[in-house]
Chains A and B, each alone.
Chain A
């Protein structure tokens, strides 16, 4: 029987001829990732193993991005624990404030992940790297500790849902609309324990940034990973960012899928996920009149250069509605610099947005943009769970950068066409 893309990568990393859904395998890891929330717990567990050193100091990435720049004394101490561990173990890919960016934007940009890799990260959005044709998945701190110790992790080989993409997204519609549309269709457990594999000629029309956004939110459908077929755009991206050798895998023609879903990209509408689950996807005719207090543009989902540029296109020459707070978070220092040089940041500041240092802060209600009771935020982040961005009586509406920018102008959830 044929294998899916994910199954082929896992078989290769486990040194096996072939694997089938349900097999338990031990796979070699290309990279192990942790952040300032999950690494301190992993370091404690690692210490219990009584080992002198990690399996490979070049294959571990420590990215303190959640509560940095340090939001309080306890967070500062957590970051210090990570910094000290990185120093003791001579971890090559430790990123201090000034170099740090949001992990899932930073790692591809630094060329640390390429096609064919197997990556675990103690962060649920580690599935982002599937955009590059890698197998990557979120785990907890103990798995991260074990990964740092032995360079291997166990996996139950997943079955997959195939998304066959055709056509092209319409103007002002982007990867975020596509993934919210899909989660609305299959639900927050629609891909539980499974891979989401994106193939078809429609893939070629999606930018790399769109693909990162889509793969990033595979976890919001419960998926183990999301993965895209490698094409010329992927190769171009990897050549520009990485010195690592990559390996391309595509599914066998006779691979079995739990489900095949065809999507014509030209039919994907603007989509906003209403509180309190990403599956509460609504299209413009069902948005109603939702007045907002805050807009967040950024995160591992939508803090990349094209996300900021797309928001700026809509806000250019216009003003944020008085009383609305618009917070923009370039995901990495490089994105920040590029957006600075090409005028994107000036456009956003002139419109009345505030620009922050790269951090995950507001997405998880950590810092830099917490909501009070009764407040509503349109956010380009990935979760709108109860209390996610602050008070338990606040509300988060998940949207694309384009919809977020348009909403900033009107003060209510708005489609880009209405302000252009």
Chain B
């Protein structure tokens, strides 16, 4: 599986309250959540991004609340992949569980700039910056997690192991 898109770049400690503010948590409809994704730090995100774009953050991406609404909002916005230096652990679990591809890669997180065109190969973990020609290798998923991803999320994984 591959993703291909333009980069939207954020800094360190992007918390779940800015990914989807709690005032919108009275619904769990993905399309409704997507309308307000990132609005407190980037009110243009909703209008300026295209389907397939790649989000790149710094350290501790997704810290804060356990709301699965955060990766759901990002996925429903059409973001194809999130790359960060590292992720907060609940956000990491949630993303895997709902099928939002995420990759940890310190160098890519530091080097890649907003607007760069990037290609990600999930099978090999190779991140290619088309704009600069530079290649990076992300931390590979442990086999256990790869199985959850291959099955399309935790619910499908449990169904197939029943």
Q: Is the CB of B41 within 8 A of A386?
A: yes
Kindly state the separation between the CA atoms of A49 and B154 in the bound complex, as whole angstroms: 10
Q: Is the CB of B23 within 8 A of A366?
A: yes
Q: Is the CB of A138 within 8 A of B66?
A: yes
Separation in Å of the B158 CB from the closest CB of chain A? 6
Q: Is the CB of A154 within 8 A of B158?
A: no
Known: A41-B69, A386-B41. Is A140-B90 also a contact (CB below 8 A)? yes
Kindly state the separation between the CA atoms of A150 and B162 in the bound complex, as whole angstroms: 9
Known: A75-B26, A149-B158. Is A38-B68 also a contact (CB below 8 A)? yes
Chain A residue contacts of B15, Cβ below 8 A: 383, 385-386
Chain B residue contacts of A150, Cβ below 8 A: 158
The segment out of B46-54, B57-65, B112-120, B127-135 that lies at the interface is B57-65
Known: A139-B90, A140-B94, A189-B60. Is A364-B68 also a contact (CB below 8 A)? no
Q: Which one of A122, A140, A154, A365 contacts B144 once the chains associate, using CB atoms below 8 Å?
A: A154
Asked if B2 is an interface residue, CB under 8 A from chain A, the answer is no
Kindly state the separation between the CA atoms of A149 and B155 in the bound complex, as whole angstroms: 10
Known: A142-B98, A145-B155. Is A188-B17 also a contact (CB below 8 A)? no
Chain B residue nearest in CB terms to A35 = B66
Asked if A261 is an interface residue, CB under 8 A from chain B, the answer is no
Chain A residue nearest in CB terms to B157 = A146
Interface size counted on chain A using CB atoms at 8 A:
51
Chain A residue contacts of B17, Cβ below 8 A: 364-365, 383, 385-388
Chain A residue nearest in CB terms to B90 = A138
Chain B residue contacts of A38, Cβ below 8 A: 66-68
Q: Is the CB of B94 within 8 A of A386?
A: no
Kindly state the separation between the CA atoms of A121 and B15 in the bound complex, as whole angstroms: 19
Kindly state the separation between the CA atoms of A189 and B60 in the bound complex, as whole angstroms: 6
Chain B residue nearest in CB terms to A154 = B144
Asked if B93 is an interface residue, CB under 8 A from chain A, the answer is yes
Separation in Å of the A40 CB from the closest CB of chain B? 6
Which positions 374-407 of chain A face chain B at CB distance < 8 Å?
383, 385-388, 392
Q: Is the CB of A140 within 8 A of B66?
A: yes
Separation in Å of the B100 CB from the closest CB of chain A? 11
Asked if A124 is an interface residue, CB under 8 A from chain B, the answer is yes
Asked if A243 is an interface residue, CB under 8 A from chain B, the answer is no
Chain A residue contacts of B89, Cβ below 8 A: 192-193, 222, 224
Q: Is the CB of B159 within 8 A of A364?
A: no
Q: Which one of A44, A156, A193, A364 contacts B65 once the chains associate, using CB atoms below 8 Å?
A: A364
Chain B residue nearest in CB terms to A156 = B142
Known: A146-B158, A189-B86. Is A139-B26 also a contact (CB below 8 A)? no
Asked if B121 is an interface residue, CB under 8 A from chain A, the answer is no
Q: Is the CB of A383 within 8 A of B66?
A: no
Chain A residue contacts of B94, Cβ below 8 A: 139-143
Kindly state the separation between the CA atoms of A45 and B66 in the bound complex, as whole angstroms: 16
Kindly state the separation between the CA atoms of A365 and B60 in the bound complex, as whole angstroms: 22
Q: Is the CB of B26 within 8 A of A143?
A: no
Which positions 20-56 of chain B face chain A at CB distance < 8 Å?
21-23, 25-28, 40-41
Q: Is the CB of B97 within 8 A of A124?
A: no
Chain A residue contacts of B18, Cβ below 8 A: 385-387
Separation in Å of the A54 CB from the closest CB of chain B? 13
Asked if A171 is an interface residue, CB under 8 A from chain B, the answer is no
1/0 per residue B62-87: CB within 8 Å of A?
01111111011000000000000010
Kindly state the separation between the CA atoms of A203 and B21 in the bound complex, as whole angstroms: 36
Chain A residue contacts of B88, Cβ below 8 A: 189, 192, 222
Kindly state the separation between the CA atoms of A329 and B106 in the bound complex, as whole angstroms: 42
Chain B residue nearest in CB terms to A364 = B22
Q: Is the CB of B28 within 8 A of A41?
A: yes
Separation in Å of the B73 CB from the closest CB of chain A? 12
Asked if B5 is an interface residue, CB under 8 A from chain A, the answer is no
Asked if A212 is an interface residue, CB under 8 A from chain B, the answer is no
Kindly state the separation between the CA atoms of A277 and B153 in the bound complex, as whole angstroms: 32
Chain B residue contacts of A143, Cβ below 8 A: 93-94, 97, 154
Chain A residue nearest in CB terms to B85 = A189
Which of B22, B27, B93, B158 neighbours the largest number of chain A CB atoms within 10 Å of its CB? B22
Asked if A274 is an interface residue, CB under 8 A from chain B, the answer is no
Chain B residue contacts of A189, Cβ below 8 A: 13, 59-60, 63, 86, 88
Chain A residue nearest in CB terms to B39 = A392
1/0 per residue A140-166: CB within 8 Å of B?
111101100110001010000000000
Asked if A341 is an interface residue, CB under 8 A from chain B, the answer is no
Known: A41-B68, A188-B63, A189-B60. Is A142-B23 also a contact (CB below 8 A)? no
Q: Which one of B28, B60, B65, B93 contacts A40 once the chains associate, using CB atoms below 8 Å?
A: B28
Separation in Å of the B45 CB from the closest CB of chain A? 14
Chain B residue nearest in CB terms to A37 = B25
Q: List 7 A-B contacts (CB under 8 A).
A: A37-B67, A38-B66, A40-B28, A75-B26, A140-B94, A145-B155, A154-B144
Q: A residues bordering B, Cβ < 8 Å?
A: 24, 37-38, 40-41, 44-45, 48-50, 66-67, 71-72, 74-75, 78, 121-124, 126, 138-143, 145-146, 149-150, 154, 156, 188-189, 192-193, 219, 222, 224, 277, 364-366, 383, 385-388, 392
